[in-house]
Amino acid sequence: MALLWRVIDLIKDLWRALFFICSIQFWRMTLLWTFSVAYSHFQLLKDSLFSQKIVSYPRSSPSTVPNRPVCVITGATSGLGLSTACKLSKEGYVIVIVGRSEQLLSETITKIKGWHEDARLKAFQADLSSIESIIKFKNSLRQWLLDSDLHCSIQILINNAGILATSPRATAEGFDQMIGTNYISAFVLTKLLLPLLESSPVSAKIVNVASFTHRADFTTIALLYNLLKLFSSVTGLQVDEGTVSGKRFLSSKRYPYAQIYEYSKICLLLFSFELHRQLCQMGKSHQIFVKGTCFLANVYADMYTMSWLRIACQTRKSHDRKMFKWEQLYSYENSLESLVHLWLGLTKCCINSTNKSEFSVADPGVVQTNIMRDFPVCLSWLAFFVLKRLRLLQSPESGKEAIIDAALAPPGTSGAYFFGGKGRTINSSALSRNAKLAHELWETTCNMLSVTPFDNEKERF
C-alpha cells in the first residue's frame, strides 16, 4: 500500500513538473537567471584579466565594544542563514536568530551549539511577512538587550530572509507575500532597528542579501524576448503602489513568480542606496564606496560654517586611505563642497565616522538551499544537477562567504556589492543604482505603509 502511494505521489509530481515546463516563467528562470549569474561571474573574470586591481576587502575582527557584539540574522533556520550564523558565532558575535517556526528555531540552536559549543545565541519567533509581527520582534529584542549584560545596541543586521513562491499568497496587510518577505520586511525591519544600530559605540553594518536575478529583466536576452512579446516586460520598473505591494500580481490570471522575485530583489538594492542618502540628509556623516572609489555623500551637517582647509587637515589624519580616480569625480552643486572633495582626492584620504551605520550588499550566487521547495521535486533535482555540471552551484557553506565578507568588511566599505567570496566586489546593475528611481520607490513604500501599524512607529526614527 505504501508503494502504491509513492507511485501516486511520483505521478502527481511529474504532472506538476510538466505544467511548470510549459509555463513562460519557468523558461524565464532557466534562460535569464542562468545568463544573469554567468554575467556576474564574467565580471569577476573581466576584472581579474583586464583591470589593474581587483576591488576586494579584507575581513576585520569584531570591533571592541563594552560587551560582545550582537548580530541579528533573519531567515537563519536553514541554508545560508544557518551557515552565516554559525560562522559569525565563531567570530565572537552574539547571534540573534529570527524565524517563523519555533521548532526550527530550537533545532537551529541545537545545531549551532553542536558545531560551536561556546556560541551565544538568542532566538525570536517572528513572521517577517507581517508588519505587526516585525514590530513585536523589535520591541522584544530591545527589551532583551536591556535585560541582558549586553550594550543596548546591535552591530550587524543581516536581512537574509527570502522566499520563492509559485502561487499567489497575501500577507495580513494585503501585500504579495513574496514581495512582503523579500523587500518590504527588510525595509520595515531596518528602519525599526536603526536606533539600535546608531546607538552602537562602534561602526554598525547592515547587510542586505541580494541576488543576481535583479539583472534578469535588463539583460540583452531579456530585451530580445520582450521585443518578441514572449515575456511581459517590467523593464520600465514600475514603482506605483499596486506594483510595490504586489497587489496587481495577486489578481493576475497566471502568477508571474519569476518576475516578482526579480522585482523584489532589485527593490531591495534600490532601498539600500536610498536609505544611505536619507541618513545623510538627516545630518549623519556617512560615506559610500563603489568599485574602490570613495565619494562623500555628506561631510558634516554644518560644513558650510567650516573652512575647507580645516576639514582637509582633519582628513589627513585618517588611517583609511583610498585611491582617487579623476574620471569619477562627480559634479557637486556647491563650490565649497567641490573644493572639499577635490582636496580629499588629492590627499587620497576619506573622512571616517567612528559611529555610523554602513550598508553592504551580498550576492551569494546560486546556492543549494530549500528555496525551491514550492517546485516539483524532480524539477528541483534536475535544476541543481545541471547547475552543478555548469560549476555554478554552491553549497551553503561556500555561498555564505560573500555574506561574511560583507558583514566583516572594514569600516569605509559602505555601498559595496560583494560577490564570489575572497572579499571581492562587482557592480550591481545600473538600474539598481538609479537615484531618482530609488527615491520614488522610497516614497511609494512609505505611503503604502502609512495605513499599517508601521506608521505608528515612524516618528521614532
- Alpha-carbon distance of 312 to 289, in angstroms, equals 19
Q: Which burial class, exposed, middle or buried, applies to 160 when counting CB atoms under 10 A from its CB (0-12, 13-18, 19+)?
A: buried
105, 146: one domain: yes
Give the three-class secondary structure for 14.
helix
Number of structural domains in the chain:
2
Residue 58 located in a structural domain: no
340, 361: one domain: no
Count of CA atoms in the C-beta half-sphere (13 A) of 434: 14
308, 360: one domain: no
324, 422: one domain: no
- pLDDT tens string 54-84: 678 888 877 666 678 999 999 999 999 999 9
Residue 170 located in a structural domain: yes
Full domain range(s) for residue 386:
70-284+356-460
310, 431: one domain: no
Give residue 107's pLDDT: 96
Neighbours of 154 (CB within 10 A): 26
Give residue 233's pLDDT: 43
**For residue 362, what is the enclosing H or E element?**
strand 357-363
Give residue 314's pLDDT: 44
Residue 419 located in a structural domain: yes
319, 418: one domain: no
Residue 59 located in a structural domain: no
165, 308: one domain: no
304, 262: one domain: no
- Alpha-carbon distance of 118 to 444, in angstroms, equals 45
Residue 351 located in a structural domain: no
375, 418: one domain: yes
250, 112: one domain: yes
Residue 448 located in a structural domain: yes
Count of CA atoms in the C-beta half-sphere (13 A) of 287: 24
Nearest to 72 by CA among 143, 9, 161, 10: 161
* Type of residue found at 344: L
219, 121: one domain: yes
* Type of residue found at 313: C
Give residue 300's pLDDT: 33
200, 332: one domain: no
Residues of the chain with pLDDT under 70: 51-54, 63-66, 217-236, 280, 282-355, 458-461
In contact, 210 and 361? CB cutoff 8 Å: yes
- Alpha-carbon distance of 185 to 100, in angstroms, equals 13
Residue 83 located in a structural domain: yes
Domain CATH code at residue 113:
3.40.50.720
Nearest to 279 by CA among 291, 271, 267: 271
Residue 247 located in a structural domain: yes
